[in-house]
A = this chain, B = another copy of it.
Amino acid sequence: MVTMMDVSREAGVSSATVSRVLTGSAGVEPATKKLVLAAVAKLGYRPNLVARGLRRQVSQVIALIITDIENPFYTAVCRGVEDSARLAGYSVILCNADRDIEKEREYLRVVEDQNASGVIISPASARKTDISNLIDRGLPVIAVDMALAAATGSVLVDNRDAGALATEYLVGKRCKRIACITGPAENSTAQDRLDGYSRAIAAAGLPVDPDLIIYANYLEDGGYHAAKDLLDLPYRPDGLFVTNNRMTVGVLRALQERGVIIPDEINVIGFDELPWALQLHPHLSLVRQPAYRIGQEAARLLIDCLAGREPSPHMVLEAELVARDGI
């Protein structure tokens, strides 16, 4: 390994001067600078990030803690974070917390021990996720996907509005019995989307029927069983809002098994991207969060915080309606 000492010897200056050149501090004679840079190039020197991290007390690493790496929404967020961080010279540690509050807690500890510069997190729970240690240490934490009271900043969509947007689409399709399959009751994001649904139902003058609201687990099987239950009702719904992408897969399977055709017998609107769905299911509409951009902006916000910028780092992005009324 080639160290700063080697460079300084090669250039005939002290290591302090090398450091100054490399960190871009002012006050180095241009000639000296040239000398140093030549030595750096000649020896192929690259700073040891671990030593730098120890000295500066922060690494150039940001941690990204996500909820579900098998969910395309979160992978898109990842890409956004990664691309944005990379441009700014940061590395990303990715941690998949798996909707598991324990695993998440453990990762938050690791992040602290590794002296990450900051954290981007899609919390497992708005209430239980505890970032106080990080905040106390002065580490910036940006929440995505779910609001977190203690967070330094956040990049979110208004999930109530998004839920209302989805529901209004179904209202516009003249649906009279609109059902909603949402996530776990303790999940605030799921609750918000459901609130939006309720608001839109009320605004349309439709009756709110508790039978038409089902809480499920945000996974395929949850969507599947919920859809089956809805299809078994004495009066079937003619519209269905599913509040996440993986449940939408289960819903499609249930409909397929029962031979129920979209949009003839029921209109369906999902939430968040399923990369293949738009290709293979031309009648499935959806409300889509700008996942990649959420990641990008979160990283940008975090890096701004690290640089001491950004007074109010809270950002609300718009969810988009992808209406697909047939080919």
Point out the residues of chain B lying under 8 angstroms from A50, CB to CB: 50, 53-54, 59, 114-115
Instruction: Of the listed stretches A71-79, A122-130, A155-163, name the one at the interface; the rest are far from the partner chain.
Output: A71-79
Point out the residues of chain B lying under 8 angstroms from A70, CB to CB: 72, 75-76, 79, 275
For chain A residues 86-129, which have a beta carbon within 8 Å of chain B?
86, 91-96, 106, 109-110, 112-115
Residue tally, chain A, CB below 8 Å to B: 45
Question: Are B275 and A252 closer than 8 Å at their CB atoms?
Answer: no
A254 CB to nearest B CB, Å: 10
A56 CB to nearest B CB, Å: 10
In the bound complex, CA of A274 to CA of B137 (Å): 42
In the bound complex, CA of A113 to CA of B256 (Å): 52
Question: Are B91 and A93 closer than 8 Å at their CB atoms?
Answer: yes
For chain A residues 248-291, which have a beta carbon within 8 Å of chain B?
249-250, 252-253, 256, 274-276, 279-280
Point out the residues of chain B lying under 8 angstroms from A51, CB to CB: 54
**Given A70-B79, A76-B70, A79-B96, A113 contacting B48 (CB threshold 8 A):** yes
Partner of A256, one of B82, B112, B280: B280
A185 at the A/B interface (Cβ < 8 Å)?
Answer: no
Partner of A46, one of B53, B109, B256, B275: B109
A12 CB to nearest B CB, Å: 26
A306 at the A/B interface (Cβ < 8 Å)?
Answer: no
Partner of A49, one of B79, B95, B115, B137: B115
Sampled A-B contacts (17; CB under 8 Å): A46-B109, A46-B112, A49-B114, A61-B114, A69-B79, A70-B75, A70-B275, A82-B96, A91-B95, A91-B110, A92-B95, A93-B93, A93-B94, A220-B275, A252-B280, A253-B279, A253-B280
- Enumerate chain A interface residues (CB-CB to B < 8 A): 1, 46-51, 53-54, 59, 61, 69-70, 72, 75-76, 78-79, 82, 86, 91-96, 106, 109-110, 112-115, 137, 220, 249-250, 252-253, 256, 274-276, 279-280
User: Top 6 A-B pairs ranked by shortest CB distance?
Assistant: A94-B94, A249-B276, A253-B279, A49-B113, A50-B53, A50-B115
